[in-house]
A and B are shown apart, each in its own frame.
Chain A
Amino acid sequence: MSRLAAKFEALSKAGRKALIPFITTGDPNPEFTLPLMHAMVAAGVDIIELGIPFSDPMADGPVIQRASERALEHKMSLRRVLALAGEFRKTDQHTPIVLMGYVNPIETLGYENFADAAKRADVDGVLTVDLPPEEASQYGALLKARGIDPIFLLAPNSSDDRIQKMDAIGSGYLYYVSLKGVTGAGHLNIADVEAKLQQIRANTRLPIAIGFGVKDAEVSKTIANIGDGVVIGSALISKIEANLDNLAVAQHEIIALLTAMRLAMDT
């Protein structure tokens, strides 16, 4: 069983939901990321989504765009993200790591090379925002052959047919984009999310993580009651952006927010 599947199974048995932070690797500099990952695990997160910086992040709002730009200024790259994930794994064999990014860096490295490198780094899942299932059959097979879960997005306008497609090609979990918009947008509608989750559950048994628009402990609690996991990204990265001159404070504020979310989700 993959690390992700095992994680969701254990959480389910314990009656808990996954807390999944997203951070852009190398934001605001490459030295900041690894200690932050370990600190987040200590604060009780279940899975870490590591963003692969890209020059043209079409699905991201301004906060994650700027995070990508800061990371790229330090020459962060897919290769270095993989190296950092491998570094993390040396001291943490339990926390699943999911790489999240856009397809061009993977295409440039080569799909098979990438799958091999991800395996070597002991990465657990890969989510490629602009690679829908129609274009992903070879990529999905390469990852699965190495025990890595290809994770796909679902959107508020995804049909039954689409959800079934993701169910067939995806594994680990499905990532439900809770609103029509970019990351960090502010118009999450809980009733809509609830209704959509019913439709999704009718078409897949994979765990559902919900992201886009989760900003605080209160929302994470509500979302946790609906899905199997809560993804938080822009709200964390905002803490980095607000404290670029004092990164110890940035880390402290990120951990404080995650701790509050953990508490809210568990009670």
Chain B
Amino acid sequence: MTEKYNMPDEHGHFGVYGGIFVAETLIPPIQELNEAYQRYLKDPDFIAELSDDLKNYVGRPSPLYHAERWSRNLGGAQIYLKREDLNHTGAHKVNNTVGQALLAKRMGKTRIIAETGAGQHGVATATVAARLGLECVVYMGAVDVARQALNVYRMKLLGATVVAVESGSKTLKDALNEALRDWVTNVDNTFYIIGTVAGPHPYPAMVRDFQTVIGHEAKQQCLEMTGRLPDALVACVGGGSNAIGLFHPFIDDSSVAMYGVEAAGDGIETGRHSAPLSAGKRGVLHGNRTYLMSDEDGEIIETHSISAGLDYPGVGPEHAWLKDSGRAHYVSITDTEALGGFHALTKMEGIIPALESSHAMAYTMKLAPAMKKDDIIIVNLSGRGDKDMHTIAQREGIEL
């Protein structure tokens, strides 16, 4: 019997990864947040309110759907889709924002800020802020504002102020920089809802804890539907929140293989990708030590992916740890392959996945045929594809 998995340590370290790497002004609010998070995670009233919101507002549990036709077509393992696309706002992101917003409310914060890439986290944040009547400012790279116009409009409808960030590469990493600058300026009344399992401790652990509802449900549903645990889990990895949400409850189940799928963009060999676990090196950015895409001088490299939600040079520190420990495998899928996954699921099952999730679908198309017909794969369908219609049409030369 091996020791039960219990990361991170009290300082937020996953081995050498994680930690707290921020300017001094952010130390007190991070300590305050950590204390609140530790307290409320054990508070029965908080847990009851969170459970109620997840059930009645988010619409949980999300189904575990046996994609029979697609499984047959691929001719290998049985594929089960964890339908996070059916959540309110259309992605897994809301699991976390509902939780953090409840924390913000209990901590007496009146103003919410967030960063967003594809806009899913921004929408999920604007949604909960609207519901609680809190001021909301969302930072989004100017490049992403252009390619995710629909989500920008949704956030504005929900009452959020969307700030287009013009610095650096004008994508998710720059949105995070700008959100940190806002936080350092408005620490007293502002709660920063980080959307992924990155950032300074306690964010990687806290966001994970809010997202593990995915894996807990999937485990129970799989046992009920098939009488056993799955053989493999597949999820896309940008920052890595949907993947860790699915993986974490299975870490001690050593028979379950885990595959995190990074964005290979134009191909790892071209350098134009967003795959730090596959082709990056150790570094420190945005409050934690992890795998990063940086050059020989430690400057962060511009990333590329067709999917705005995966277009990030870092990755959550727990994934870095899971990679080094060998417990999870990290693979990558190109833009073109992801589009293949997108079309396959759409045509085979009548489900239009987000471009982010399409990376997981594309890897499943490689993995399933190599497995036995009675093997089980759970794939996290982390979001729906409505937001990506323009991107895909444009890429395929279709005018809408």
Binding site for B on A (CB under 8 A): 53-62, 65, 69, 72, 77-79, 102-109, 129-132, 134-135, 152-159, 162, 177, 180-182, 185
Q: List 8 A-B contacts (CB under 8 A).
A: A56-B286, A58-B180, A77-B297, A108-B298, A153-B25, A156-B25, A157-B29, A185-B185
Contact between A132 and B185, CB atoms less than 8 A apart:
no
Chain A contacts for B177, CB-based, 8 A:
56-58
Interface residue B108 (Cβ < 8 Å from any Cβ of A): no
**CB contacts between A and B, total, < 8 Å:** 119
Q: Do A55 and B21 contact each other (CB < 8 Å), given the known contacts A103-B284, A107-B282, A108-B283?
A: no
A154 to B23, CA, bound (A): 9
A58 close to B25 (CB less than 8 A): no
Which chain B positions have C-beta within 8 A of A62?
167
Question: Please, which residues of chain B bring their CB within 8 A of the CB of A102?
Answer: 284
- Among all A-B residue pairs, the 7 with the closest Cβ atoms: A108-B298, A105-B298, A77-B297, A155-B25, A153-B24, A181-B185, A155-B24
CA distance A61 to B23 in the complex (A): 14
**Nearest CB in chain A to that of B177: its residue:** A58
| Interfacial chain B residues near A78, Cβ < 8 Å | 297-298
A108 touches B167 (CB 8 A): no
Total interface residues in chain B, CB < 8 Å: 38
In the complex, which of the residues B24, B174, B186, B298 contacts A104, with contact meaning CB atoms closer than 8 Å? Answer: B298
**Is chain A's interface secondary structure helix, strand, loop, or mixed overall?**
loop
B181 engages A162 (CB within 8 Å): no
- Cβ of A152: which chain B residues have Cβ within 8 Å of it? 24
Instruction: Given A56-B168, A59-B184, A107-B282, check contact A77 B299 (CB 8 Å).
Output: yes
Chain B: CB-nearest residue to A80: B297
Of chain B, the residue at the smallest CB distance from A75 is B297
Closest to A65 in B: B167
* Cβ contacts under 8 Å, A131 to chain B: 21
CB-based contact B298/A135 at 8 Å? no
Distance of A109 Cα from B299 Cα, bound (Å):
11
A56 in contact with B300 (CB, 8 Å): yes
- Interface: B213 (CB within 8 A): no
| Contact A132 B300, beta carbon cutoff 8 Å | no
Residues of A within 8 A of B25 (CB): 153, 155-157, 177, 180-181
The listed residue (B20, B23, B28, B296) touching A58 by CB distance below 8 A is: B23
Most buried by A among B187, B283, B294, B298: B298
- Among residues 159 to 178 in chain B, which have CB atoms less than 8 Å away from a CB atom of chain A? 167-168, 173-174, 177
